[in-house]
């Protein structure tokens, strides 16, 4: 018996996958996405600036920065500043590209009728 049409529930051949498939899994976490929103807009930002902008604690930010650094999305530098160390968060090209893809996917979802 030959099929007379697509099986029930199958996508039409010209259907495009839902844009949620283009979301970056690592950036589904709000803090991580927000960190990349900040670093995508600058060469580098101070840890304290990111913490205050996102209104999170040092420990929460440190944990998420570690995850982003392991993925190659940010680079962390500690620079001596007097007797203290100043921590800088650098956006990487890989991180900016991931942020752009995730942002475009969110825009596609938001615009989807």
Nearest CA-CA partner of 96 in 42, 20, 19:
42
* Contacting positions for another protein (CB under 8 A): 20, 23, 28-31, 33-34, 37-38, 40-46, 48-49, 53-56, 60, 81, 88, 103, 106-107, 109-110, 112
The structure tokens listed for 68 are 């982003």
Judge whether 106 and 24 are in contact, CB under 8 Å: no
Min separation Cβ 41 and another protein, Å: 4
38 vs 71 by CB, closer to another protein: 38
Min separation Cβ 31 and another protein, Å: 5
């Amino acid at each position: 018996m030959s099929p007379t049409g697509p099986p029930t529930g199958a996508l039409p051949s010209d259907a495009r996958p839902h844009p949620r498939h283009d979301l970056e899994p690592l950036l589904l976490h709000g803090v991580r996405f927000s960190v990349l929103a900040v670093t995508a807009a600058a060469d580098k930002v101070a840890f304290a600036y990111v913490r205050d902008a996102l209104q999170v604690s040092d420990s929460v930010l440190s944990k998420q920065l570690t995850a982003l650094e392991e993925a190659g999305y940010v680079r962390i530098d500690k620079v001596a500043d007097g007797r203290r160390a100043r921590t800088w968060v650098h956006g990487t090209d890989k991180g900016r590209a991931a942020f752009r893809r995730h942002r475009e996917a969110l825009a596609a979802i938001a615009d989807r009728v």
